Structure 1
């Protein structure tokens, strides 16, 4: 193995130092592929001792500095490898952490910023090339972030919690009500959903946090997640459903008024039911109730590429079907051809942009892959009976 080339590759990839140290903690050589980078941290005696201290394992150990900078130490045979410093895009909380360290601003500015997953991939590659046995990402996470606990502890905690609820005669809301609520979303039955939401019962929602606001937000996230899965079972594209869920949860996280949160949650559930209802109306008399993986993949691709020009060849390549077979299969399940479906979805997206954005008609046409503003206008009127200007004038929401 050409170790110098490997070390230089790791240094170049992570834009930092790779050092080889002796077992007693002396740096024998250091390689850095970044010109002008000076590691002022390791010159501090307490940081040096922390970084070179050998833990009770030879596996890669992340040594964190103030939650935002880290090194990795691991041993292979008699050599100790130390990689770092590396900066992260979000705080890192490894088990081995040194806090309240003075960090030179020049060093901070010199370090490249990485995501944890990219960093993990590079370190695992480095270690697995050198070590006799390969290390998985789960094992890497376990030895760096997971405090040891036993299944007995989990069981004890659950037993104590269960005893406390039984003593206080606390009950959860009935499961059958939840089933009715989710089934109404799956069926696109808006009125049944409203009736299910309005049901009165003696139980209470789960306790997911001892902070009341955080608890309700957590409950909202659970309900939205269940609603998104129910909508997928009802025929919604998984990608569309997941995107709505992501956006809804972001809205929930940004709101701190409990009354407003509950109103938002119910509106989100109803929005899911309405979208499923529209899908079922469009699919009436087709084979849509029989889920087909090619159709699901096709619709997900269309949703993800609505701002592009989509061809039958694109869809055929994505699904692994011939264009003719896919077109026939799609029409059997959706009642329209793939190209008609694409146009319908583009018009739906245009309606959304006309109502909720300030984009010009030509910008909307360009974003959605129409050849011109007039092309968009012609297709839009064919589908809606309105010109884009008339639709915006009649339906645009005014900003508060």
Structure 2
């Protein structure tokens, strides 16, 4: 039997991890010092369109959680989530908010109103599945602290009891189903036919259009080549 040698990896490049996390989690990541001054922002969103930067009450709430040994999850409407990582190093990281269900008009309007955003700015709440968001959060937290948490750790430390967790999960499922039923019915076989026609003809733009009609935004962008 071959001897298994220990292996090690290169030192983590935190800046690289955070830039990739923005893509995976579909979320803006902000780093503040202990006095609330913005040190760095990952992702593109003007401050006047950013709920965290525009809504001072929301900002104070997120900054006031204090040091914790686990990311703190803040829920809005049981569907929108913002994560806060506050370290004893004197800075705070705020990730989100993002919707855990495909964004619908009423939810987007609620976010605009409650966070005092300008309706004419065309703010659009991002969507990321709960699994993608939490996995990205675990990677970021590990890169920052070296601690290895599980998805269960995140839920147990953020929910007072199993009933609250169950209620949130049920709400996500019901909301997703409700708004899927409101959408116009799609013809999957017709889309597959159109997709194959585009591939056969080498029509990249047509293929992108078909995929965009089917995709909910969790996967990457179609490659140029």
User: TM bucket by the smaller chain?
Assistant: 0.5 to 0.7
1:49 aligns with 2:63: no
Q: Distance in 2 between matches of 1:69 and 1:4?
A: 26
- 2:85 and 2:92 in contact (8 A); partners too: yes
Q: Distance in 2 between matches of 1:48 and 1:36?
A: 12
1:133, distance to aligned residue in structure 2 (A) = 1.9
Where structure 1 has 5 or more consecutive residues not aligned to the other structure, the ranges are 92-99, 150-400
Q: 2:136 aligns with which of 114, 122, 127?
A: 122
Partner of 2:69: 58
1:123, distance to aligned residue in structure 2 (A) = 0.6
1:110 aligns with 2:121: no
Per-residue CA deviations over 1:141-165 (Å, capped at 9, x if unaligned) read 011123499xxxxxxxxxxxxxxxx
Q: Distance in 1 between matches of 2:48 and 2:27?
A: 8
- 1:39 and 1:107 in contact (8 A); partners too: no
1:12, distance to aligned residue in structure 2 (A) = 2.1
Residues 102, 73 of structure 1: alpha-carbon distance in 2 compared, 3 angstrom cutoff:
closer
Query: TM-score, normalised to structure 1's length?
Result: 0.31
Query: TM-score, normalised to structure 2's length?
Result: 0.53
Q: Distance in 2 between matches of 1:138 and 1:111?
A: 26
Per-residue CA deviations over 1:82-139 (Å, capped at 9, x if unaligned) read 1112112079xxxxxxxx9346457885232122122111111111122132111111
Q: Taking CA–CA contacts closer than 8 Å with sequence separation of 6 or more, which of the two structures ends up with the larger relative contact order?
A: 2
Answer 1 or 2: which has greater strand percent. 2
Per-residue CA deviations over 1:300-325 (Å, capped at 9, x if unaligned) read xxxxxxxxxxxxxxxxxxxxxxxxxx
Secondary structure at the counterpart of residue 98 of structure 2? strand
- 2:22 and 2:42 in contact (8 A); partners too: yes
Partner of 2:180: none
- 1:15 and 1:34 in contact (8 A); partners too: no
Q: Distance in 2 between matches of 1:117 and 1:108?
A: 27
Partner of 2:36: 25
Q: 1:73 aligns with which of 84, 99, 109?
A: 84
Answer 1 or 2: which has greater helix percent. 1
Secondary structure at the counterpart of residue 64 of structure 1? strand
Alignment of 1:302-321 (within 5 A): none
RMSD: 3.6
Residues 22, 34 of structure 1: alpha-carbon distance in 2 compared, 3 angstrom cutoff:
closer
- Whichever of the two has the greater Rg, that structure is 1
How many positions carry a matched residue from both structures? Answer: 145
Alignment of 1:299-338 (within 5 A): none
Secondary structure at the counterpart of residue 50 of structure 1? helix
